[in-house]
Structure 1
Amino acid sequence: MNVNPDAKMTNFVAEPRATDAEALKRSILEKLAYAVGKDPGHATVRDWATALALAVRDHVVDSWFESTRRGYSAHRKRVYYLSMEFLIGRLLNDAVANLQLETAAREATKALGVDYDSLVVQESDAALGNGGLGRLAACFLDSMSTVGIPAYGYGIRYEHGLFRQRFHDGWQVEEPEDWLVSGHVWEFERLEVAYPIKFGGHISFDGQGHTYWHAEETVLAVAYDTPITGWKGVHVNTLRLWASKPVEVLDLRRFNHGDYVSAAEKSIKAETISRVLYPDDTTPEGKELRLKQEYFFTSASLQDLVRRYLSEFDDIRLLPEQVAIQMNDTHPAIAVAELMRILADEHGLAFPEAFEITRKCLSYTNHTLMPEALERWNVGLFRRVLPRHMQIIEWIDYHHLAEVQGRNVSVSLDAIRIIEHGSEIKMGNLAFVGSRRVNGVSALHTDLMKQTVFRDFHSLYPDRIVNETNGITPRRWLYECNPGLRKLLVDSIGDGWVDDLEKLSAIVPLATDSAFRDKFSVAKRANKVRLANEIEKRIGLKVDPSALFDVQIKRIHEYKRQLLNILETIALYQAIRRTPGAEWTPRVKIFAGKAAPGYHMAKLIIKLGNDVARTINSDPIVGDRLKVAFLPNYNVSLAEIIIPAADLSEQISTAGMEASGTGNMKLALNGALTIGTLDGANVEIGERVGPDNIYIFGLTADSVADIRTRGYNARATIEGDPTLKAAIDAMVAGEFSPDDHGRFHQIADRLYNTDWFLVTADFQAYFQRQRDVDLDYRDATRWAERAILNTAQVGWFSSDRTIRGYAKDVWGVETT
């Protein structure tokens, strides 16, 4: 019997589930007994956490089923969001908050003799992402559920995900992330939903023009579903992740002959595809695995959505009327060729028609202006791994170029080619050519896309590029992570802001109200005490919650310029040592973030940061005037502790290089003032909070472009700035690395000789702006007013607003 796993569910409708504390208590006890298999007298904290999660999950599933039924009965158009990363974090507290079960959950667990907060932290962070890209995808899923868009998120169920980071003598060490070791109570295994994914082999054609792909290797993509709850549980969508499984689990013949390793070879090879997020691709094997990963989840997702469409509708040509597919960055750009393959090879459409249907379904979000960050694949590798897709891409490239030449327009054909010089496939160009809409993620980024990386495409298709400035979910990034501020806001203006964040503007007049301001400061102080305790627990460093908490939390990359922050830290340290009796504003510099395993310079910057921290933190002359905390293994749960405690938000990327940023939004929403360049969404944050409530410094995107065009003499800048030179000289002299004086010479050489990211050019402006921060922080009343105004005036940066923009401008779907 064939079973449609997404068939309309009309046979079972759950009775409304009671939400009071007593009913939840009974449910927890039932789950503890019948799902966990424990009685209360022998249950561990983890057992109780599992029982609570399962009890709450029942409420989620009720809404999930009802949402699915509504979607099918109304035949509503669905959105499919394809992303290599979904940084969803812990889900128990998220579900409890969105279902408004927190009071009941706390009362029920208290009655059972266990602490709710201690249960929440038992859940592992799902290691499904690295940074902003994955967290944005998670926020978007939350918002699509909140605004009522039927949607699926599609990605990979990484067994280990991104690595667990620890520091050994200040160096980053990557270890496997074991987030699945105790299971994941929020996911549902769908063994019946499995698709073959082919690699390698050759192509043949028959006399009727049919194409056959004879694969060398085939694996199965098996679905695991996680429900994603919107605000108040009105709508629940699905995150469907794919695990790679072998077609043949074991070669029994080899096993019986004693060749046990070879017998399991195919199984190991297949499962490797969904083992780790972003394998080191500095080797040929790593590059091939990365390409296989991208095709694996994209193909499975497209096969799945086409199957779902055909379970409701008959005509594959009408697919764009019911399906909108969003490619989050270039990782799923192979979707252009794969959807064409499905339409042509499996449904008999001619290439021109298949391409037009594909382009009407697909849209592409660009996240970078750096050409080197727009993926490229070697043609030889691509042809070997995906021979049929190579043929399709060659057809797209040829016909697109022919179409452009036929229009007699003045563009660079090299700039719009998909296959460059016959040697590389430019996935950004493929995504652009195969998409209905291409969007940037901030106003500045979108304008720069039109002027730089996609300039010629924009002249050809002036209506294709649109802007959808990123946003963050206020549920996760204020309501849940900042309970003190949440209570103050709800008590003052109600809870309407939770799904309409711009209602926070109602607290603007309260910024000068002393009673409100004092309560705001009390909430901030509690958050800083919590973070101070976490810092001591993680790295053994005691910090003063009264100090200014200066935060830079993001993946470690040269363009994000953690190095600029570290050099300013060295300069500040030297200044304090020269005149320790001066009036210094106590400051705690807080860093967190991971470097890609193959990114040597980023890992060297981490080592520098840790060496500088060790020196400063042990210097009795400096004392509590300056402390540096570099926290290992940054993830969503750690961010939820750091962000509410921050006083100053470091958003100091080289202007024109950060597409948007979302950390800047989270920190501002929680009352941190931003110090940053006019880059990404900093521009729009500044427009909303006003110039008096943000610290802008340094070069603009235009001036960066101008300097790079005419050339920049970093050596002259360093020699002309005694403060900067002293900081670099100390680093070069080994003051922070007495065991290896030459450790950081490579960093100094890069600053002196190239400094592509213009750290030295912006240093003096940054250093002086930090001294403005020192002075301003001493006026506690005025600082609190400005922090409140940041919270009040960044409501526009809700991901709900962003998703409504996508729905209208990109996907053509309705919201509630």
Structure 2
Amino acid sequence: MNGRHPPKSDENPIVREDLRTGLTAEAIKNDILENLVYVQARIPKIATRNDWYMALAYTVRDRLLERWGMAIESLQQSSRAVCYLSAEFLPGPHLGNAILNLGMYEQTKEATARLGLDLDALISHEGEPGLGNGELGRLAACFLDSLATLEIPTIGYGIRYEFGIFDQEIHDGWQREVTDKWLAFGNPWEIVRPEIAYYVPLGGYTETYYDRLGRFRVRWVPERVVKGIAHDTPIPGYHVENVALLRLWKSEACESFDFQAFNEGDYYGAVEDKVASETISKVLYPNDEPIPGKELRLSQQFFFVSCSLQDMIRVHRLGGGVPATFDRRYAVQLNDTHPAIAVAELMRLLVDKQRIDWERAWEITRNTFSYTNHTLLPEALEKWPLPLFRKVLPRHLEIIFEINRRFLEDVRLTYPGDSERLRRLSLIEEADDRYVRMANLAAVGSHAINGVAALHTDLLKETVMRDFYELYPERFLNVTNGVSPRRWMLLCNPGMSGLITDAVGENWVCNSQDSIAGLESFADDGAFREAWRKVKQGNKMELARHISERTGIVVNPESLFDIQVKRIHEYKRQHLNALHIISLYIRLKRTPSLDVPPRTVIFGGKAAPGYARAKLIIKFINSIADVVNIDPDVADRLKVVFFPDFNVKNGQLIYPAADLSEQISTAGKEASGTGNMKFSLNGALTIGTLDGANVEIREAVGPENFLVFGLTAREVTDLKMRGYRPWESYEQNEELREIIDLVRSGFFSRGDRDLFEPLVNELLSRDEYCLLADYPSYLEAQEKAGKAYLVQGQWLRMSILNVARMGGFSSDRSIREYLDHIWKVDSLKASGSRGNGRP
């Protein structure tokens, strides 16, 4: 830089070259001023909190960019890199996480204090990128954190949605969706790369021809072409020199302004292509009920996959590679079915563009990809109507037909005469309407297929992917999900993390599976329990303050904080929790002397905008709260809160404050869960079914430290096969009948008997998710939870043991399993590929 610079301290001068990399408080302070004045054109006298936040964010980013250069060179030089393709990434706010991972919190706190600023207030000021909807995106973010920390050359690829997951407001108990304008004030963490751009064709038709060597070829003549521009965000590893690269694609028109149309007076037409092209990366998950929404969603998936694969080929060439060795250079993970079109797109790039013969191209493709399945719900396995697919991706449909033809020939040889098996395995669903099955495409085109919890993987083999498992048993394996102990313990729960470090040392942060187990010896230490209680109480008081600010509801921090936060869905059974609240309310009204602890039941989560039943569940919870919270008969003994706009940032407040974690989905419906892990890692006891990773959490922490209830997955299946009659549960359980009748009477809806009738009718007629069948067992487990909480010493012991035995649920462990069993990738440290270059 030339010109004048903010003055430096006389007592602690620093050399000029340390300004953007130095880690002393003085260097950080001067860089904050530099970025305020010369990057943002602000002066301290009139700078707003957002100005100071941006200046601090740029200052922290400066220190990331030194590591960034090393990571870019390492990606080009390493023998194999991991590329994680995901339609969602939910990293959460970057500032606090980056300061933590860079090991510069104390220096930054001192630097901001010298400027008269509050570091914690600046960290709290940051919003979060709404680049995902739930577990899929949060898992992807934890994996990038672990990949960076384990020093694995990594690129995460996705879409830079201009408007992410909606912000949620609650009005009269109903969810209202508000546009997520996360980019409104700029994004200091991303680096725009206009020179890294790729052209993505859409629509049109194909034509055949023979090349100069007389070989049969296919040419795609697209209807339109859009351009993808790279936007990069460095994701720092913890106390290492490595960063992972999150590369998100923004769509633009190839020519944003038609000058000829403008001159002819067609002012709207002059920018029409720009508007249409930018729509692709405009919004996360457009409503795909109407055909235009389906077309946009398919275009989005192809757009980011095509840009990403073209980028991999470019980087491979920069490192001296050729397309024929692509599979030796990259391990590409398909995070669910959203990026499954990558199988056909890589084949197109290799066969049509790189002129590699089909058999070798297919070998490269299958060696490159591995596929993570995240759902057992058949309706959640993506499929696309054939006419729509042909309209958007005509060449890919031809490729999929050819993959399918060759695949089914092999199946016929293995299972001669089994036409039903052929029908089930086919990449094309042949029903009244024909569809492309994306899960089948991912399974055929990958060398490994993994579930995300032991139970989920077993059920995957037995149900939705049984035929593929019988055909390719060697491809199937389990990798149970995990969460980053950096963000979800160290960052969000510093008090508890400090206690753990004092007890077992710092090694648990990156080697939690082994090191944190040492905490178990402190479970019976009275002084340690008391320190643990004080930390938990402080976390609860902080959440109580935020609840009061956000909802106006005053809750008792001494009460049992009973929390269920996750996406609102019928199978996650928030309404089963609501039925228990009504039961407890009735019991307290009838028996004021009931020996139960005061309880605050907290919900959070978003319902999909088009999911009417989920929205009604939100209204149901808030209507119960409206009655319970103003009833003087229950006073501080029972409160109900719906905490709006649950996201990563709010989760960092909520998980550390929980006493009881509600993981109550119908057994066999939840793939894994990661919220269950975050709660348990922060000292909450779980009340849950044997579903998803709950099974493994219970095994890890011990059955005596886990409140299990409900039917198992097999019992649910057996019940339905026998003919489940939920009405009988209603008739035979007097308390349940009273609760349902109270709801039907309009007691919780201001006399409106019709409002919650859809919920009641579903429970009494079908009860698809077995709420009424599990209700008695759930109440029994809740009574055990209440009695256990009254004996605080024992409760604290169980809380400590939960944390001590949860080390195996770190995302570091998950990533090591992917590396060893699927990706076969070495760390930069092990391979000696650490670079020293510049980006």
Q: TM-score range by the shorter chain?
A: over 0.9
Amino acid at match of 1:288: E
Residue pair 1:76, 1:150 contacting (<8 A) in 2 also:
no
Instruction: Indicate yes or no: 2:429 matched with 1:420.
Output: yes
Partner in structure 1 of residue 493 of structure 2 = 482
Once the two structures are TM-superposed, the CA of residue 15 in structure 1 deviates from its matched residue by: 10
Residue pair 1:60, 1:233 contacting (<8 A) in 2 also:
no
Amino acid at match of 1:790: N
Once the two structures are TM-superposed, the CA of residue 16 in structure 1 deviates from its matched residue by: 9.6
Partner-residue secondary structure (3-state), 2:21? coil
Partner in structure 1 of residue 152 of structure 2 = 149
Partner in structure 1 of residue 711 of structure 2 = 699
Once the two structures are TM-superposed, the CA of residue 256 in structure 1 deviates from its matched residue by: 4.0
Structure 1 segment 144-183 matched on structure 2, within 5 A: 144-183=147-186
Partner in structure 2 of residue 619 of structure 1 = 631
Residue pair 2:74, 2:153 contacting (<8 A) in 1 also:
no
Partner in structure 2 of residue 8 of structure 1 = none
Partner-residue secondary structure (3-state), 1:260? coil
Distance in 1 separating the partners of 2:30 and 2:62: 13
Partner in structure 1 of residue 470 of structure 2 = 459
Partner in structure 2 of residue 81 of structure 1 = 84
Partner-residue secondary structure (3-state), 1:194? strand
Distance in 1 separating the partners of 2:64 and 2:21: 11
Distance in 2 separating the partners of 1:399 and 1:753: 46
Distance in 2 separating the partners of 1:271 and 1:622: 54
Distance in 1 separating the partners of 2:423 and 2:71: 47
Structure 1, residues 462-492: CA drift from partner, whole Å, max 9, x if none? 1101110000000000000001111112222
Distance in 2 separating the partners of 1:439 and 1:760: 33
Q: Which residue of 772, 786, 801 corresponds with 2:784?
A: 772
Distance in 1 separating the partners of 2:470 and 2:86: 28
Q: Which residue of 108, 111, 118 corresponds with 2:111?
A: 108
Instruction: Indicate yes or no: 2:563 matched with 1:559.
Output: no
Structure 1, residues 294-335: CA drift from partner, whole Å, max 9, x if none? 111111111111111122234322111111100000000001
Once the two structures are TM-superposed, the CA of residue 72 in structure 1 deviates from its matched residue by: 3.0
Amino acid at match of 2:248: L
Partner in structure 1 of residue 517 of structure 2 = 505
Structure 1, residues 212-243: CA drift from partner, whole Å, max 9, x if none? 11111211111100000001132101000001
Partner-residue secondary structure (3-state), 1:233? coil
Amino acid at match of 1:83: S
Amino acid at match of 1:421: E
Partner in structure 1 of residue 396 of structure 2 = 389
Once the two structures are TM-superposed, the CA of residue 283 in structure 1 deviates from its matched residue by: 1.1
When structure 1 is superposed on structure 2, of 552-561 and 613-622 the one drifting more is 613-622
Partner in structure 2 of residue 757 of structure 1 = 769
Partner in structure 2 of residue 589 of structure 1 = 601
Partner in structure 2 of residue 6 of structure 1 = none
Instruction: Indicate yes or no: 2:255 matched with 1:255.
Output: no
When structure 1 is superposed on structure 2, of 311-320 and 104-113 the one drifting more is 311-320
Residue pair 2:76, 2:318 contacting (<8 A) in 1 also:
no
Instruction: Indicate yes or no: 2:247 matched with 1:240.
Output: yes
Partner in structure 2 of residue 725 of structure 1 = 737
Residue pair 2:20, 2:31 contacting (<8 A) in 1 also:
no
Amino acid at match of 2:403: I
* C-alpha RMSD of matched pairs (Å): 1.4
Amino acid at match of 2:448: R
Residue pair 1:652, 1:676 contacting (<8 A) in 2 also:
yes
Identity of aligned residues (%): 48
Instruction: Indicate yes or no: 2:38 matched with 1:34.
Output: yes
Distance in 2 separating the partners of 1:28 and 1:501: 35
Instruction: Indicate yes or no: 2:216 matched with 1:216.
Output: no
Partner in structure 2 of residue 60 of structure 1 = 64
Partner-residue secondary structure (3-state), 1:659? coil
Structure 1 stretches lacking a partner, 5+ long: 1-12
Residue pair 1:88, 1:138 contacting (<8 A) in 2 also:
yes
Once the two structures are TM-superposed, the CA of residue 814 in structure 1 deviates from its matched residue by: 1.3
Amino acid at match of 2:787: L
Distance in 2 separating the partners of 1:310 and 1:326: 21
Partner-residue secondary structure (3-state), 1:782? helix
Partner in structure 2 of residue 370 of structure 1 = 377
Distance in 2 separating the partners of 1:314 and 1:498: 37
Structure 1 segment 436-585 matched on structure 2, within 5 A: 436-502=447-513, 503-585=515-597
Amino acid at match of 1:289: L
Once the two structures are TM-superposed, the CA of residue 739 in structure 1 deviates from its matched residue by: 5.6
- The normalised TM-score by structure 1 is 0.97
Once the two structures are TM-superposed, the CA of residue 14 in structure 1 deviates from its matched residue by: 8.8
Distance in 2 separating the partners of 1:129 and 1:779: 40
Partner-residue secondary structure (3-state), 1:245? strand
Partner-residue secondary structure (3-state), 1:736? coil
Cα 1:255/1:571, change in 2 over 3 Å: farther
Structure 1, residues 601-659: CA drift from partner, whole Å, max 9, x if none? 11111111111111111111111111111011111000000000000000001101111
Partner-residue secondary structure (3-state), 2:268? helix
Distance in 2 separating the partners of 1:253 and 1:740: 61
Residue pair 2:19, 2:27 contacting (<8 A) in 1 also:
no
Amino acid at match of 2:28: L
Distance in 2 separating the partners of 1:628 and 1:594: 17
Structure 1, residues 640-694: CA drift from partner, whole Å, max 9, x if none? 0000000000000110111110000000000000000001110110011001101
Once the two structures are TM-superposed, the CA of residue 280 in structure 1 deviates from its matched residue by: 1.1
When structure 1 is superposed on structure 2, of 483-492 and 515-524 the one drifting more is 483-492
Once the two structures are TM-superposed, the CA of residue 255 in structure 1 deviates from its matched residue by: 3.5
Instruction: Indicate yes or no: 2:351 matched with 1:344.
Output: yes
Once the two structures are TM-superposed, the CA of residue 49 in structure 1 deviates from its matched residue by: 1.1
Amino acid at match of 2:59: A
Once the two structures are TM-superposed, the CA of residue 273 in structure 1 deviates from its matched residue by: 1.0
Distance in 2 separating the partners of 1:257 and 1:609: 58
When structure 1 is superposed on structure 2, of 94-103 and 312-321 the one drifting more is 312-321
Q: Which residue of 801, 810, 816 corresponds with 2:822?
A: 810
Q: Which residue of 112, 117, 124 corresponds with 2:127?
A: 124
Structure 1, residues 539-591: CA drift from partner, whole Å, max 9, x if none? 10000000000110100111111111111111111111121232231111110
Partner-residue secondary structure (3-state), 1:228? strand
Partner-residue secondary structure (3-state), 1:614? helix
Residue pair 1:197, 1:221 contacting (<8 A) in 2 also:
yes
Structure 1 segment 307-322 matched on structure 2, within 5 A: 307-322=314-329
Once the two structures are TM-superposed, the CA of residue 722 in structure 1 deviates from its matched residue by: 1.5
Partner in structure 2 of residue 402 of structure 1 = 409
Instruction: Indicate yes or no: 2:310 matched with 1:303.
Output: yes
Distance in 1 separating the partners of 2:470 and 2:331: 25
Amino acid at match of 2:511: D
Partner-residue secondary structure (3-state), 1:439? strand
Distance in 1 separating the partners of 2:725 and 2:198: 56
Residue pair 2:701, 2:805 contacting (<8 A) in 1 also:
yes
Partner-residue secondary structure (3-state), 1:705? helix
Amino acid at match of 1:666: K
When structure 1 is superposed on structure 2, of 752-761 and 36-45 the one drifting more is 36-45
Residue pair 1:588, 1:627 contacting (<8 A) in 2 also:
yes
Structure 1 segment 611-650 matched on structure 2, within 5 A: 611-650=623-662
Partner-residue secondary structure (3-state), 1:544? coil
Distance in 1 separating the partners of 2:614 and 2:622: 13
Residue pair 1:576, 1:584 contacting (<8 A) in 2 also:
no
Distance in 2 separating the partners of 1:224 and 1:704: 46
Distance in 1 separating the partners of 2:424 and 2:756: 38
Partner in structure 1 of residue 98 of structure 2 = 95
Cα 1:95/1:305, change in 2 over 3 Å: same
Amino acid at match of 1:471: G
Structure 1 segment 192-207 matched on structure 2, within 5 A: 192-207=195-210
Partner in structure 2 of residue 70 of structure 1 = 74
Structure 2 stretches lacking a partner, 5+ long: 1-16, 830-839
Amino acid at match of 1:609: I
- The normalised TM-score by structure 2 is 0.94
Once the two structures are TM-superposed, the CA of residue 264 in structure 1 deviates from its matched residue by: 2.5
